[in-house]
Amino acid sequence: MEKDRLDPWGEGHISNYERLHQEFGIERLDSVLPRIKEPSAHMRRKIDFGHRDLGRVVDAVDSDKPFAVMSGIKPSGDFHLGTKMTADDMIYFQSLSKRATVYYCIADVEAYNDNGLTFAESSKTAVRNVADILALGLDPERAVVYKQSEEIRVMRLSTIFSSSVTNNMLRAIYGERQIGLYLSALIQVGDILMPQLPEFGGPKPVVVPVGADQDPHIRLARDIAAHYKEDYKFVPPSSIYHRLNRGLDGSPKMSKRNPGSSFSLEDAPAAAGKVVMSAFTGGRASVEEQKKLGGEAEKCPVYDLYLFHFALEDEYAKRVYDECYDGTRMCGDCKKELATLVKKYLEEHRKKRDSMMKDAEELLKSSKKRLAALAS
């Protein structure tokens, strides 16, 4: 019995993202991919599946014009694999051009509101989180790191924007929510549009790499950019969307609240290895069946980990998929192989990260100084 053969770099894995194209008008990445000279692993592997107006950023790269890469992280704990996805995308876009600047927002206001973390607590986590992204490859020379709670421009923009946004507009995008959530959305719009203020060199393309679930903020930011076109000359921000990491325990999404679903870059390698070893897989009911039918890699969060993070070479990820499909790779061995990879990665990352704590503090300090010195 033949089942459909899925290309690991094909559309198959993202069929559940189809409605984002249909209903929300997210463009398929294919529409712009041929124009990108060196696509990232996320792009090649169709982990990045959609975008809005990414062409503007490609144009900026091609014509050596300045552009910004903007995203943020809530400093509510360790650097998780979902955060790494966004960080990898930011670093990739920064690497495309000497004229790219990364704006990296530490969302401590959200961490206070959502998780009850004081700014002092967030501040400590933030240093470690910044060291993580430096270890992943961020170039600090072209990065602006700021805390939401300290960046008056973001706050000011969100307040200004609030005066022109109607409740109906917000309800249409987010549904009926409490004001705190609406305001939090407006603050994120402030984050997204800040790089286009005059003190940062004025209007320019900005790409926001995010998980698909963050698209509402992008839509709001684009609506608002259009509304304030005259006052601020905003270029509508661009976005690129990556698929979400599925939970290792079979849940639909990795979650910090659900320890069996994931691990973080801070976890002890042995502990992370254990999480991998007890992961849900796309395997069959018995070894015999699996040898006969092959595994279902497209349903398998373990395969996702190879694909999204730990198989650095495309060829390697493809081999894992093919062996699984052919029934020559069994889940136990596959998990063991991954656990070894993960443990090695975490050990190396931890070393790199620890050696970068001073640089992280330095970057936070120098960014703060730089931001304070800008006219506002």
Q: Which is nearer to its own copies, 170 or 275 (CB)?
A: 170
Q: Which is nearer to its own copies, 16 or 167 (CB)?
A: 167
From the CB of 212, what's the least distance to its own copies, in Å?
A: 25
Residue 184, judged by CB atoms within 10 A of its CB (0-12, 13-18, 19+), counts as buried
Type of residue numbered 226? A
| Exposure of 280 in the CB half-sphere (CA atoms within 13 A) | 16
Residue entry with tokens 């927002």: 105
Q: Which is nearer to its own copies, 330 or 371 (CB)?
A: 371
Q: Which is nearer to its own copies, 150 or 361 (CB)?
A: 150
From the CB of 159, what's the least distance to its own copies, in Å?
A: 5
From the CB of 300, what's the least distance to its own copies, in Å?
A: 38
Q: Which is nearer to its own copies, 221 or 302 (CB)?
A: 221
Q: Which is nearer to its own copies, 114 or 361 (CB)?
A: 114
Q: Which is nearer to its own copies, 113 or 214 (CB)?
A: 113
From the CB of 86, what's the least distance to its own copies, in Å?
A: 22
Q: How far apart are CA 68 and CA 101, in angstroms?
A: 5
What residue ranges bind its own copies (CB under 8 A)? 109, 112-114, 149-152, 155-156, 159-160, 162-167, 170, 178-180, 182-184, 186-187, 376
From the CB of 145, what's the least distance to its own copies, in Å?
A: 17
From the CB of 156, what's the least distance to its own copies, in Å?
A: 5
From the CB of 184, what's the least distance to its own copies, in Å?
A: 8
